[in-house]
């Protein structure tokens, strides 16, 4: 039977499933240095976004006598794991790509509605006794153009939902167009930036940590557009984003992810043009149940093919 460390917690569905199979589940959270001391005691480690498995941590799991065989990211992105190094050393690396796409796509749309109709701001001011009805003249999403950077599962999910709302869909991804999506138009990045009323990011972090939307690319964005990021904080230079919001070049931003979590910069957290959530893209009952079931299936298939 396996000894499994769920370092960032685990849904009860996965815990129950794995326990029924006789495996031992440890949900203790270890910070980076203590994790290095214990990681080799487990056959499997399951992480979310809070735990980074870099080369130094993996080296600790590769010492003589280590039991570790499999790393699972309970989510889509794998950029907090040094996948190349882990696989080169014989460790299995898996994720759960099928369960959270709808939840993340819906959150991105939620931020778009928030910004278009000033919901994020009016919800606060009305609680303060302010009746600022004339201040909150918004826009419709219908007829607007949505630019999607990254067209994997989540990008395609939000494209379908936004298209059903009457939005025009542009998308860009490095690997080129997807032939099966004739309703959505593939364009280069510059075209997407110049023509989109809303831009949403659904791509992994760049390996070198470089932002996709930095000071230079943000200036290419259509004046008055909105930017949504429910993917990775490193994809946007937030200082450049704040400058663009302050200057009026951008009308607003919807953020669920940050370069530091929780975000501590008051210029960011107090900005009236930003709709913010605390990294809750996959925080729905449905997504967590699905992720838990996928985790159980991954472990079962890996050790009992």
Question: 41 with 3: CB under 8 angstroms?
Answer: yes
Handedness of CA 33, 38, 40, 44 (dihedral sign): negative
Q: CA-based diameter of the chain, in Å?
A: 69
Q: How far is CA 201 from the centre of its chain?
A: 9
Helices (H), the chain: 12-20, 32-38, 55-60, 83-88, 101-116, 119-127, 153-164, 189-195, 215-218, 238-247, 266-269, 285-303
CA of residue 211 relative to chain centroid, distance: 15
Residues that are catalytic:
232, 261, 279
3-state DSSP percent of the chain in helix, strand and coil, to 5: 40, 15, 45
Q: What are phi and psi of 16, to 5 degrees?
A: -65, -45
| Closest to 181 measured CA to CA, from 192, 172, 189 | 172
Asked if 275 and 255 touch (Cβ cutoff 8 Å), the reply is yes
Q: Which residues, at least 6 apart from 22, have a Cβ–Cβ distance to it below 8 Å? A: 1
Closest by CA to 201, choosing from 265, 146, 260, is 146
């Amino acid at each position: 039977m396996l000894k499994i460390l769920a370092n960032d917690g685990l849904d009860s569905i996965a815990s129950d499933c794995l326990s029924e199979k006789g495996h031992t589940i440890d949900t203790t959270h270890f910070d980076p240095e203590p994790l290095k001391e214990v990681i080799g005691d487990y056959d499997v480690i399951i992480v979310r976004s809070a735990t980074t498995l870099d080369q130094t941590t993996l080296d600790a799991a590769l010492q003589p006598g280590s039991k570790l065989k499999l790393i699972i990211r309970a989510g889509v992105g794998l950029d907090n794991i040094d996948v190349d190094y882990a696989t080169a050393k014989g460790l299995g690396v898996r994720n759960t790509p099928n369960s959270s796409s709808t939840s993340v796509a819906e959150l991105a749309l939620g931020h778009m509605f928030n910004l278009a109709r000033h919901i994020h701001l009016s919800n606060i001011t009305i609680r303060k006794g302010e009746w600022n009805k004339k201040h909150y003249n918004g826009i419709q999403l219908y007829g607007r153009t949505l630019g999607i950077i990254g067209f994997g599962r989540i990008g395609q999910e939000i494209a379908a939902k936004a298209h059903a709302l009457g939005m025009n869909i542009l998308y860009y991804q490095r690997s080129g167009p997807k032939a099966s999506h004739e309703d959505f138009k593939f364009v280069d990045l510059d075209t997407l930036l110049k023509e989109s009323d809303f831009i949403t990011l659904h791509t992994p972090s760049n390996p070198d940590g470089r932002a996709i939307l930095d000071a230079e690319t943000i200036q290419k964005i259509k004046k008055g557009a909105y930017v949504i990021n429910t993917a990775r904080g490193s994809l946007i230079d937030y200082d450049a984003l704040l400058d663009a919001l302050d200057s009026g070049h951008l009308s607003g931003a919807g953020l669920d992810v940050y370069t530091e979590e929780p975000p501590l910069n008051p210029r960011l957290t107090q900005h009236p043009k930003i709709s913010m959530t605390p990294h809750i893209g996959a925080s729905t009952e449905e997504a967590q149940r699905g992720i838990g079931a996928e985790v159980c299936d991954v472990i079962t298939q890996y050790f009992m093919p």
